[in-house]
Structure 1
Amino acid sequence: MDGPLDAASIRLRNLTVAYRGHPAVHHLSGEFAPGSLTAVVGPNGAGKTSLLAAIMGRVRPAGGEVQFGAGSRSRMAWLPQQAEIDRSFPIRVFDLVALGHWSRIGSLGGLRTAQHDAVLRALDAVGLGGFERRGIAELSAGQFQRVLFARVLLQDAPVILLDEPFNAIDARTTADLLSVVARWHAEARTVIAVLHDLEQVRQHFDRTLLMARRCIAWGPTAEVLHAENLFRARQMAEAWDDDAPLCEEAA
Protein backbone atom coordinates (compact mmCIF):
# COMPACT_ATOMS: atom_id res chain seq x y z
CA MET A 1 0.00 0.00 0.00
CA ASP A 2 2.90 2.38 0.57
CA GLY A 3 5.02 1.44 -2.46
CA PRO A 4 5.43 3.54 -5.62
CA LEU A 5 2.35 4.11 -7.76
CA ASP A 6 2.11 2.74 -11.29
CA ALA A 7 0.76 4.90 -14.12
CA ALA A 8 -3.06 5.06 -14.22
CA SER A 9 -3.19 4.04 -10.57
CA ILE A 10 -5.22 5.97 -7.98
CA ARG A 11 -4.59 5.62 -4.26
CA LEU A 12 -6.81 6.97 -1.47
CA ARG A 13 -5.11 7.67 1.83
CA ASN A 14 -7.50 8.29 4.73
CA LEU A 15 -9.70 10.36 2.39
CA THR A 16 -12.49 12.42 3.95
CA VAL A 17 -14.84 14.60 1.89
CA ALA A 18 -17.28 17.06 3.45
CA TYR A 19 -19.90 19.56 2.29
CA ARG A 20 -20.64 22.61 4.45
CA GLY A 21 -18.82 20.96 7.33
CA HIS A 22 -20.74 17.67 7.21
CA PRO A 23 -18.85 14.53 6.16
CA ALA A 24 -19.90 12.64 3.03
CA VAL A 25 -16.90 10.25 2.85
CA HIS A 26 -15.06 9.11 5.99
CA HIS A 27 -11.42 8.00 6.15
CA LEU A 28 -11.39 5.96 2.96
CA SER A 29 -8.16 4.16 2.07
CA GLY A 30 -7.43 1.82 -0.81
CA GLU A 31 -6.14 1.67 -4.37
CA PHE A 32 -7.64 1.45 -7.85
CA ALA A 33 -4.97 -0.55 -9.64
CA PRO A 34 -3.99 0.18 -13.26
CA GLY A 35 -6.38 -1.52 -15.66
CA SER A 36 -8.89 -2.38 -12.94
CA LEU A 37 -12.65 -2.33 -13.52
CA THR A 38 -14.35 -1.25 -10.29
CA ALA A 39 -17.98 -0.65 -9.40
CA VAL A 40 -18.70 1.77 -6.54
CA VAL A 41 -21.95 0.85 -4.80
CA GLY A 42 -23.83 1.67 -1.62
CA PRO A 43 -27.06 3.16 -0.29
CA ASN A 44 -28.30 6.54 -1.45
CA GLY A 45 -26.19 9.23 0.22
CA ALA A 46 -23.27 6.83 0.71
CA GLY A 47 -20.75 9.27 -0.75
CA LYS A 48 -20.25 7.57 -4.12
CA THR A 49 -20.54 10.69 -6.28
CA SER A 50 -18.57 12.67 -3.69
CA LEU A 51 -15.75 10.15 -4.04
CA LEU A 52 -15.63 10.61 -7.82
CA ALA A 53 -15.70 14.39 -7.38
CA ALA A 54 -12.69 14.19 -5.05
CA ILE A 55 -10.79 12.01 -7.50
CA MET A 56 -11.55 14.47 -10.30
CA GLY A 57 -10.43 17.41 -8.15
CA ARG A 58 -13.88 19.01 -8.22
CA VAL A 59 -13.92 19.12 -4.41
CA ARG A 60 -11.02 19.44 -1.98
CA PRO A 61 -10.66 16.72 0.63
CA ALA A 62 -11.41 17.73 4.21
CA GLY A 63 -8.76 15.23 5.25
CA GLY A 64 -6.40 12.70 3.72
CA GLU A 65 -5.50 12.75 0.04
CA VAL A 66 -5.87 11.23 -3.41
CA GLN A 67 -2.57 10.12 -4.97
CA PHE A 68 -2.06 9.50 -8.68
CA GLY A 69 0.34 7.49 -10.78
CA ALA A 70 2.37 9.27 -13.45
CA GLY A 71 0.10 11.12 -15.86
CA SER A 72 -3.19 9.73 -14.58
CA ARG A 73 -4.45 12.94 -12.93
CA SER A 74 -4.01 15.02 -16.04
CA ARG A 75 -5.62 12.41 -18.28
CA MET A 76 -8.94 11.40 -16.79
CA ALA A 77 -12.28 11.22 -18.57
CA TRP A 78 -15.42 12.01 -16.59
CA LEU A 79 -18.96 11.03 -17.53
CA PRO A 80 -21.35 12.92 -15.20
CA GLN A 81 -24.94 12.07 -14.36
CA GLN A 82 -27.33 13.19 -17.10
CA ALA A 83 -29.15 15.40 -14.59
CA GLU A 84 -26.06 17.63 -14.40
CA ILE A 85 -26.25 18.53 -18.12
CA ASP A 86 -28.54 21.17 -19.65
CA ARG A 87 -29.95 19.42 -22.70
CA SER A 88 -31.75 22.56 -23.85
CA PHE A 89 -28.42 24.05 -24.95
CA PRO A 90 -28.46 24.35 -28.77
CA ILE A 91 -25.58 22.11 -29.78
CA ARG A 92 -25.37 19.34 -32.37
CA VAL A 93 -24.44 15.78 -31.54
CA PHE A 94 -21.25 16.09 -33.62
CA ASP A 95 -20.09 19.20 -31.76
CA LEU A 96 -20.75 17.73 -28.32
CA VAL A 97 -18.78 14.59 -29.14
CA ALA A 98 -15.99 16.68 -30.69
CA LEU A 99 -15.45 18.27 -27.28
CA GLY A 100 -13.60 15.05 -26.50
CA HIS A 101 -10.77 16.56 -28.57
CA TRP A 102 -10.69 19.69 -26.36
CA SER A 103 -7.44 18.92 -24.55
CA ARG A 104 -5.65 18.57 -27.88
CA ILE A 105 -7.11 21.46 -29.89
CA GLY A 106 -8.25 24.01 -27.27
CA SER A 107 -11.10 26.50 -27.70
CA LEU A 108 -9.80 28.13 -30.91
CA GLY A 109 -8.38 25.18 -32.79
CA GLY A 110 -10.23 23.61 -35.70
CA LEU A 111 -10.66 19.89 -36.30
CA ARG A 112 -8.26 18.24 -38.67
CA THR A 113 -9.61 15.64 -41.07
CA ALA A 114 -8.39 12.79 -38.86
CA GLN A 115 -10.11 14.30 -35.81
CA HIS A 116 -13.34 14.87 -37.75
CA ASP A 117 -13.30 11.23 -38.85
CA ALA A 118 -12.61 10.12 -35.27
CA VAL A 119 -15.85 11.80 -34.14
CA LEU A 120 -17.79 9.83 -36.76
CA ARG A 121 -16.08 6.58 -35.74
CA ALA A 122 -16.93 7.22 -32.09
CA LEU A 123 -20.58 7.73 -33.00
CA ASP A 124 -20.54 4.51 -35.02
CA ALA A 125 -18.98 2.69 -32.04
CA VAL A 126 -21.93 3.63 -29.80
CA GLY A 127 -24.59 2.92 -32.40
CA LEU A 128 -25.32 6.50 -33.46
CA GLY A 129 -23.91 6.63 -36.97
CA GLY A 130 -25.92 9.21 -38.95
CA PHE A 131 -26.98 11.21 -35.85
CA GLU A 132 -24.19 13.78 -36.05
CA ARG A 133 -26.35 16.68 -37.29
CA ARG A 134 -29.13 16.25 -34.75
CA GLY A 135 -29.55 18.61 -31.82
CA ILE A 136 -29.09 17.01 -28.43
CA ALA A 137 -32.57 18.16 -27.36
CA GLU A 138 -34.02 15.78 -30.00
CA LEU A 139 -32.48 12.69 -28.43
CA SER A 140 -33.96 10.16 -26.05
CA ALA A 141 -32.22 9.57 -22.72
CA GLY A 142 -30.57 6.44 -24.09
CA GLN A 143 -29.38 8.18 -27.25
CA PHE A 144 -27.98 11.08 -25.26
CA GLN A 145 -26.06 8.67 -23.03
CA ARG A 146 -24.56 7.09 -26.15
CA VAL A 147 -23.39 10.57 -27.18
CA LEU A 148 -21.69 11.08 -23.83
CA PHE A 149 -19.94 7.72 -24.16
CA ALA A 150 -18.77 8.70 -27.65
CA ARG A 151 -17.23 11.87 -26.20
CA VAL A 152 -15.37 9.78 -23.60
CA LEU A 153 -14.13 7.48 -26.37
CA LEU A 154 -12.53 10.48 -28.10
CA GLN A 155 -10.74 11.54 -24.94
CA ASP A 156 -8.68 8.34 -25.08
CA ALA A 157 -7.93 8.62 -21.35
CA PRO A 158 -6.15 5.98 -19.25
CA VAL A 159 -8.56 6.63 -16.34
CA ILE A 160 -12.34 6.78 -16.87
CA LEU A 161 -14.88 7.79 -14.19
CA LEU A 162 -18.57 7.04 -14.81
CA ASP A 163 -21.28 8.43 -12.51
CA GLU A 164 -24.46 6.32 -12.78
CA PRO A 165 -23.92 5.66 -16.49
CA PHE A 166 -26.88 3.29 -16.89
CA ASN A 167 -29.48 5.11 -14.80
CA ALA A 168 -32.92 5.46 -16.46
CA ILE A 169 -31.87 4.17 -19.89
CA ASP A 170 -33.28 1.24 -21.85
CA ALA A 171 -31.93 -2.31 -21.67
CA ARG A 172 -30.58 -2.31 -25.25
CA THR A 173 -28.59 0.87 -24.69
CA THR A 174 -27.29 -0.46 -21.37
CA ALA A 175 -26.07 -3.67 -23.04
CA ASP A 176 -24.37 -1.73 -25.84
CA LEU A 177 -22.63 0.65 -23.45
CA LEU A 178 -21.55 -2.18 -21.16
CA SER A 179 -19.77 -3.55 -24.24
CA VAL A 180 -17.93 -0.23 -24.54
CA VAL A 181 -16.91 -0.50 -20.87
CA ALA A 182 -15.67 -4.06 -21.50
CA ARG A 183 -13.61 -2.72 -24.40
CA TRP A 184 -11.99 -0.11 -22.15
CA HIS A 185 -11.18 -2.82 -19.63
CA ALA A 186 -9.64 -4.99 -22.36
CA GLU A 187 -7.48 -1.99 -23.32
CA ALA A 188 -6.16 -1.90 -19.71
CA ARG A 189 -7.76 1.44 -18.85
CA THR A 190 -8.67 2.08 -15.22
CA VAL A 191 -12.47 2.31 -15.03
CA ILE A 192 -14.43 3.38 -11.93
CA ALA A 193 -18.24 3.41 -12.17
CA VAL A 194 -20.91 4.39 -9.65
CA LEU A 195 -23.74 1.87 -10.05
CA HIS A 196 -26.96 0.81 -8.35
CA ASP A 197 -27.88 -2.47 -10.05
CA LEU A 198 -26.05 -5.11 -8.02
CA GLU A 199 -26.83 -7.90 -10.48
CA GLN A 200 -25.27 -5.79 -13.22
CA VAL A 201 -22.22 -5.34 -11.03
CA ARG A 202 -21.96 -9.08 -10.39
CA GLN A 203 -22.11 -9.86 -14.10
CA HIS A 204 -19.81 -7.18 -15.50
CA PHE A 205 -17.44 -5.79 -12.84
CA ASP A 206 -14.72 -7.90 -11.29
CA ARG A 207 -13.98 -5.51 -8.40
CA THR A 208 -16.33 -3.55 -6.15
CA LEU A 209 -16.07 -0.86 -3.49
CA LEU A 210 -19.08 -1.01 -1.17
CA MET A 211 -19.51 2.29 0.69
CA ALA A 212 -21.74 3.68 3.37
CA ARG A 213 -19.75 6.90 3.73
CA ARG A 214 -17.08 4.61 5.14
CA CYS A 215 -15.67 1.60 3.35
CA ILE A 216 -17.68 -1.54 4.09
CA ALA A 217 -15.67 -3.79 1.76
CA TRP A 218 -13.36 -3.39 -1.24
CA GLY A 219 -12.09 -6.23 -3.39
CA PRO A 220 -13.33 -9.02 -5.69
CA THR A 221 -17.03 -8.47 -6.40
CA ALA A 222 -18.17 -11.93 -5.29
CA GLU A 223 -16.60 -11.36 -1.87
CA VAL A 224 -17.73 -7.75 -1.44
CA LEU A 225 -21.40 -8.26 -2.39
CA HIS A 226 -21.89 -10.77 0.38
CA ALA A 227 -25.21 -10.60 2.26
CA GLU A 228 -23.44 -9.71 5.51
CA ASN A 229 -21.66 -6.73 3.93
CA LEU A 230 -24.87 -5.47 2.30
CA PHE A 231 -26.64 -5.72 5.67
CA ARG A 232 -23.85 -3.72 7.35
CA ALA A 233 -24.16 -1.02 4.69
CA ARG A 234 -27.91 -0.73 5.30
CA GLN A 235 -27.37 -0.59 9.05
CA MET A 236 -24.84 2.22 8.72
CA ALA A 237 -27.15 4.17 6.42
CA GLU A 238 -29.97 3.95 8.97
CA ALA A 239 -27.65 5.34 11.66
CA TRP A 240 -26.44 8.40 9.70
CA ASP A 241 -26.70 11.77 11.37
CA ASP A 242 -26.59 14.37 8.62
CA ASP A 243 -26.07 17.13 11.18
CA ALA A 244 -22.96 15.51 12.64
CA PRO A 245 -19.83 17.67 12.48
CA LEU A 246 -16.54 16.52 11.03
CA CYS A 247 -14.61 14.38 13.44
CA GLU A 248 -11.51 16.04 14.89
CA GLU A 249 -9.21 13.74 12.92
CA ALA A 250 -10.47 15.15 9.60
CA ALA A 251 -11.18 18.75 10.61
Structure 2
Amino acid sequence: MKPAVAVHELSVAYRRHPALHCISGSFARGSLTAVVGPNGAGKSTLLKSLLGLVPVDSGQVALHVARKRIAYLPQQAEIDRSFPISVLDCICLGYWQRLGIFGGVGPALAERATDALLAVGLQGFAQRSVGSLSAGQMQRVLFARILVQDADLILLDEPFNAVDAKTTEDLLAIIHAWHAQQRTVIAVLHDHEQVRRHFPQAVLLARRLVAWGATEQVLSEPHLHLAKHMPDTNAAEAAA
Protein backbone atom coordinates (compact mmCIF):
# COMPACT_ATOMS: atom_id res chain seq x y z
CA MET A 1 0.00 0.00 0.00
CA LYS A 2 1.27 3.48 -0.85
CA PRO A 3 1.88 5.83 2.08
CA ALA A 4 -0.43 8.79 2.61
CA VAL A 5 2.46 11.16 1.91
CA ALA A 6 6.20 10.82 1.39
CA VAL A 7 9.16 13.16 1.00
CA HIS A 8 12.41 12.44 -0.81
CA GLU A 9 15.53 14.54 -0.21
CA LEU A 10 13.32 17.54 0.60
CA SER A 11 15.15 20.84 1.08
CA VAL A 12 13.56 24.22 1.82
CA ALA A 13 15.15 27.62 2.50
CA TYR A 14 13.79 31.03 3.51
CA ARG A 15 15.73 33.97 2.06
CA ARG A 16 18.72 31.64 1.55
CA HIS A 17 18.60 30.47 5.20
CA PRO A 18 18.17 26.67 5.37
CA ALA A 19 14.94 25.46 6.98
CA LEU A 20 15.00 21.80 5.96
CA HIS A 21 17.86 19.91 4.36
CA CYS A 22 17.57 16.62 2.48
CA ILE A 23 14.66 15.10 4.44
CA SER A 24 13.39 11.68 3.33
CA GLY A 25 10.66 9.48 4.82
CA SER A 26 7.00 8.54 4.58
CA PHE A 27 3.81 8.68 6.63
CA ALA A 28 1.85 5.43 6.44
CA ARG A 29 -1.87 5.56 5.85
CA GLY A 30 -3.72 5.59 9.16
CA SER A 31 -0.60 6.50 11.14
CA LEU A 32 -0.48 8.93 14.08
CA THR A 33 2.80 10.85 14.03
CA ALA A 34 4.29 13.71 16.05
CA VAL A 35 6.86 16.02 14.51
CA VAL A 36 9.26 17.26 17.19
CA GLY A 37 12.56 19.10 17.47
CA PRO A 38 14.20 22.24 18.85
CA ASN A 39 12.97 25.74 18.00
CA GLY A 40 13.94 26.50 14.44
CA ALA A 41 14.14 22.81 13.50
CA GLY A 42 11.78 23.15 10.51
CA LYS A 43 8.74 21.42 11.99
CA SER A 44 6.12 23.85 10.69
CA THR A 45 8.02 24.12 7.43
CA LEU A 46 7.64 20.37 6.93
CA LEU A 47 3.84 20.59 7.24
CA LYS A 48 3.68 23.57 4.90
CA SER A 49 5.89 21.75 2.41
CA LEU A 50 3.49 18.81 2.36
CA LEU A 51 0.67 21.24 1.53
CA GLY A 52 2.62 23.20 -1.06
CA LEU A 53 2.43 26.39 1.01
CA VAL A 54 6.17 27.05 0.79
CA PRO A 55 8.43 26.68 -2.25
CA VAL A 56 10.62 23.60 -2.29
CA ASP A 57 14.26 24.19 -3.23
CA SER A 58 14.94 20.58 -4.13
CA GLY A 59 13.56 17.10 -3.61
CA GLN A 60 10.00 15.85 -3.89
CA VAL A 61 6.74 15.64 -1.98
CA ALA A 62 4.51 12.77 -3.06
CA LEU A 63 0.90 13.09 -1.92
CA HIS A 64 -1.23 9.97 -2.26
CA VAL A 65 -4.34 11.68 -0.85
CA ALA A 66 -6.59 13.99 -2.87
CA ARG A 67 -6.04 17.61 -1.81
CA LYS A 68 -9.74 18.04 -1.04
CA ARG A 69 -9.31 15.22 1.49
CA ILE A 70 -6.64 17.10 3.47
CA ALA A 71 -7.34 19.23 6.55
CA TYR A 72 -4.80 21.69 7.94
CA LEU A 73 -4.80 23.46 11.30
CA PRO A 74 -2.21 26.28 11.38
CA GLN A 75 -0.80 27.82 14.53
CA GLN A 76 -3.27 30.10 16.28
CA ALA A 77 -0.96 33.08 15.74
CA GLU A 78 -1.55 32.71 11.99
CA ILE A 79 -5.35 32.88 12.30
CA ASP A 80 -7.12 36.24 11.92
CA ARG A 81 -9.95 36.30 14.44
CA SER A 82 -10.96 39.90 13.76
CA PHE A 83 -13.30 38.95 10.90
CA PRO A 84 -16.91 39.08 12.17
CA ILE A 85 -18.03 35.48 11.78
CA SER A 86 -20.03 33.23 14.05
CA VAL A 87 -18.78 29.96 15.48
CA LEU A 88 -21.23 27.94 13.37
CA ASP A 89 -20.28 29.76 10.17
CA CYS A 90 -16.60 29.19 10.96
CA ILE A 91 -17.23 25.46 11.28
CA CYS A 92 -19.15 25.45 8.00
CA LEU A 93 -16.07 26.81 6.24
CA GLY A 94 -14.89 23.21 6.48
CA TYR A 95 -17.30 22.44 3.63
CA TRP A 96 -15.81 24.88 1.12
CA GLN A 97 -13.56 22.35 -0.64
CA ARG A 98 -16.60 20.18 -1.24
CA LEU A 99 -19.11 22.89 -2.12
CA GLY A 100 -16.95 25.67 -3.55
CA ILE A 101 -16.93 29.29 -2.45
CA PHE A 102 -20.51 29.91 -3.57
CA GLY A 103 -22.00 26.57 -2.57
CA GLY A 104 -24.82 26.67 -0.06
CA VAL A 105 -24.88 24.78 3.22
CA GLY A 106 -28.17 22.94 3.36
CA PRO A 107 -30.05 21.71 6.45
CA ALA A 108 -28.24 18.36 6.57
CA LEU A 109 -24.78 19.94 6.52
CA ALA A 110 -25.84 22.60 9.03
CA GLU A 111 -27.03 19.84 11.36
CA ARG A 112 -23.73 18.05 10.93
CA ALA A 113 -21.88 21.25 11.86
CA THR A 114 -24.04 21.56 14.98
CA ASP A 115 -23.21 17.95 15.87
CA ALA A 116 -19.49 18.77 15.48
CA LEU A 117 -19.95 21.70 17.85
CA LEU A 118 -21.45 19.34 20.42
CA ALA A 119 -18.63 16.85 19.87
CA VAL A 120 -16.03 19.45 20.90
CA GLY A 121 -18.01 20.53 23.97
CA LEU A 122 -19.26 23.91 22.78
CA GLN A 123 -23.01 23.45 22.81
CA GLY A 124 -24.71 26.84 22.95
CA PHE A 125 -21.82 28.63 21.20
CA ALA A 126 -23.19 28.50 17.63
CA GLN A 127 -23.95 32.22 17.33
CA ARG A 128 -21.01 33.49 19.36
CA SER A 129 -18.42 35.56 17.49
CA VAL A 130 -15.09 33.78 17.07
CA GLY A 131 -13.43 36.98 18.28
CA SER A 132 -15.04 36.54 21.70
CA LEU A 133 -13.59 33.08 22.32
CA SER A 134 -10.67 32.07 24.50
CA ALA A 135 -7.70 30.31 22.90
CA GLY A 136 -8.99 26.94 24.09
CA GLN A 137 -12.51 27.58 22.81
CA MET A 138 -11.18 28.70 19.44
CA GLN A 139 -9.11 25.55 19.13
CA ARG A 140 -12.22 23.48 19.82
CA VAL A 141 -14.00 25.34 17.02
CA LEU A 142 -11.16 24.62 14.62
CA PHE A 143 -11.23 20.93 15.54
CA ALA A 144 -14.99 20.96 14.86
CA ARG A 145 -14.26 22.44 11.44
CA ILE A 146 -11.90 19.54 10.75
CA LEU A 147 -14.59 17.10 11.88
CA VAL A 148 -16.98 18.30 9.17
CA GLN A 149 -14.22 18.15 6.55
CA ASP A 150 -14.10 14.36 6.92
CA ALA A 151 -10.44 14.42 5.80
CA ASP A 152 -8.18 11.44 5.20
CA LEU A 153 -4.99 13.39 6.01
CA ILE A 154 -4.99 15.81 8.96
CA LEU A 155 -2.08 18.19 9.64
CA LEU A 156 -1.97 19.96 13.00
CA ASP A 157 0.58 22.68 13.79
CA GLU A 158 1.04 23.03 17.56
CA PRO A 159 -2.63 22.18 18.31
CA PHE A 160 -2.21 22.40 22.11
CA ASN A 161 -0.24 25.64 22.31
CA ALA A 162 -1.76 28.14 24.80
CA VAL A 163 -4.78 25.96 25.60
CA ASP A 164 -5.79 24.61 29.01
CA ALA A 165 -5.28 21.06 30.21
CA LYS A 166 -8.96 20.07 29.89
CA THR A 167 -9.10 21.28 26.29
CA THR A 168 -5.89 19.41 25.50
CA GLU A 169 -7.35 16.23 26.98
CA ASP A 170 -10.56 16.59 24.96
CA LEU A 171 -8.73 17.34 21.71
CA LEU A 172 -6.41 14.37 22.23
CA ALA A 173 -9.51 12.18 22.50
CA ILE A 174 -10.66 13.47 19.10
CA ILE A 175 -7.21 12.77 17.62
CA HIS A 176 -7.33 9.22 18.97
CA ALA A 177 -10.79 8.82 17.39
CA TRP A 178 -9.36 9.92 14.03
CA HIS A 179 -6.58 7.39 14.43
CA ALA A 180 -9.11 4.65 15.19
CA GLN A 181 -10.92 5.63 11.97
CA GLN A 182 -7.66 5.02 10.04
CA ARG A 183 -7.16 8.68 9.18
CA THR A 184 -3.55 9.83 8.87
CA VAL A 185 -2.69 12.45 11.50
CA ILE A 186 0.56 14.46 11.63
CA ALA A 187 1.01 16.95 14.48
CA VAL A 188 3.80 19.37 15.39
CA LEU A 189 4.33 19.12 19.15
CA HIS A 190 6.79 20.19 21.84
CA ASP A 191 5.89 18.08 24.89
CA HIS A 192 7.93 14.89 24.61
CA GLU A 193 6.06 13.10 27.40
CA GLN A 194 2.77 13.88 25.69
CA VAL A 195 4.19 12.50 22.46
CA ARG A 196 5.35 9.32 24.20
CA ARG A 197 1.89 8.77 25.73
CA HIS A 198 -0.26 9.50 22.71
CA PHE A 199 1.69 9.27 19.42
CA PRO A 200 3.02 5.87 18.27
CA GLN A 201 5.23 7.39 15.55
CA ALA A 202 7.53 10.41 15.62
CA VAL A 203 9.81 12.46 13.39
CA LEU A 204 12.69 14.29 15.08
CA LEU A 205 14.06 17.24 13.11
CA ALA A 206 16.94 19.65 13.54
CA ARG A 207 16.71 21.13 10.04
CA ARG A 208 18.11 17.77 9.03
CA LEU A 209 16.41 14.49 9.87
CA VAL A 210 17.63 13.03 13.16
CA ALA A 211 15.25 10.05 13.43
CA TRP A 212 11.93 8.80 11.99
CA GLY A 213 9.98 5.80 13.27
CA ALA A 214 8.56 4.35 16.49
CA THR A 215 8.34 7.08 19.13
CA GLU A 216 10.32 5.32 21.87
CA GLN A 217 13.20 4.79 19.47
CA VAL A 218 13.05 8.28 18.00
CA LEU A 219 12.93 10.05 21.37
CA SER A 220 15.95 8.28 22.79
CA GLU A 221 18.46 10.32 24.78
CA PRO A 222 21.18 10.02 22.10
CA HIS A 223 18.77 11.26 19.42
CA LEU A 224 17.55 14.17 21.57
CA HIS A 225 21.11 15.14 22.39
CA LEU A 226 22.03 15.03 18.71
CA ALA A 227 19.03 17.19 17.76
CA LYS A 228 19.90 19.76 20.41
CA HIS A 229 23.53 20.03 19.34
CA MET A 230 23.28 19.49 15.60
CA PRO A 231 25.19 22.22 13.74
CA ASP A 232 23.16 25.08 12.27
CA THR A 233 19.98 24.22 14.19
CA ASN A 234 19.92 27.65 15.78
CA ALA A 235 22.18 29.48 13.32
CA ALA A 236 19.54 31.04 11.11
CA GLU A 237 16.08 32.42 11.54
CA ALA A 238 13.61 30.11 13.26
CA ALA A 239 11.59 28.07 10.81
CA ALA A 240 9.17 26.48 13.29
Is 1:47 the counterpart of 2:42 in the alignment?
yes
Deviates more, 1:81-90 or 1:187-196: 81-90
Q: Out of 219, 226, 235, which is 1:241 matched to? A: 235
Equivalent position of 1:22 in the other structure: 17
Residues 196-211 of structure 1 correspond to what in structure 2 (within 5 A)? Answer: 196-211=190-205
Deviates more, 1:220-229 or 1:232-241: 232-241
Deviation digits for residues 217-246 of structure 1 (CA, Å, limit 9, x no counterpart): 110001111011000001016664328xxx
Deviation digits for residues 157-179 of structure 1 (CA, Å, limit 9, x no counterpart): 10000000000100000000000
Equivalent position of 2:93 in the other structure: 99
Residues 97-136 of structure 1 correspond to what in structure 2 (within 5 A)? Answer: 97-136=91-130
Equivalent position of 2:167 in the other structure: 173
Q: CA 1:206/1:225 → structure 2, altered by over 3 Å: closer, same or farther?
A: same
Residues 143-158 of structure 1 correspond to what in structure 2 (within 5 A)? Answer: 143-158=137-152
Query: Are the equivalent residues in 1 in contact too, given 2:39–2:234 (CA < 8 A)?
Result: no
Aligned length: 237
Query: Are the equivalent residues in 2 in contact too, given 1:125–1:150 (CA < 8 A)?
Result: yes
Residues 175-194 of structure 1 correspond to what in structure 2 (within 5 A)? Answer: 175-194=169-188
Which runs of no fewer than 5 residues in structure 2 stay unpaired?
A: none
Equivalent position of 2:62 in the other structure: 67
How far the C-alpha of 1:53 sits from its partner, in A, is 0.5
Q: CA 1:133/1:113 → structure 2, altered by over 3 Å: closer, same or farther?
A: same
Which runs of no fewer than 5 residues in structure 1 stay unpaired?
A: 244-251
Amino acid at match of 2:88: F
In the superposition, the TM-score normalised over structure 2's length comes to 0.95
Equivalent position of 1:79 in the other structure: 73
How far the C-alpha of 1:5 sits from its partner, in A, is 2.4
Amino acid at match of 2:29: P
SS in 1 for 2:230: helix
Equivalent position of 2:2 in the other structure: 5
Equivalent position of 1:35 in the other structure: 30
Deviation digits for residues 43-79 of structure 1 (CA, Å, limit 9, x no counterpart): 000000000000011012101010022x344421000
Over 4 Å off, 4+ runs:
237-240
Q: CA 1:138/1:231 → structure 2, altered by over 3 Å: closer, same or farther?
A: same
SS in 2 for 1:96: helix
Amino acid at match of 2:54: V
Q: Distance in 2 between matches of 1:74 and 1:234?
A: 37
Please report the RMSD computed on the Cα atoms of aligned residues, expressed in angstroms: 1.4
Query: Are the equivalent residues in 2 in contact too, given 1:46–1:237 (CA < 8 A)?
Result: no
Equivalent position of 1:223 in the other structure: 217
Amino acid at match of 1:60: P
Deviation digits for residues 82-120 of structure 1 (CA, Å, limit 9, x no counterpart): 000111211100110000011122222221111000100
Amino acid at match of 1:229: H
Query: Are the equivalent residues in 1 in contact too, given 2:11–2:20 (CA < 8 A)?
Result: yes
Deviation digits for residues 2-60 of structure 1 (CA, Å, limit 9, x no counterpart): xx725xx1111000011112210010000000000000000000000000000011012
In the superposition, the TM-score normalised over structure 1's length comes to 0.91
The percentage of counterpart residues that share the same residue type is 55
Q: Distance in 2 between matches of 1:196 and 1:240?
A: 16
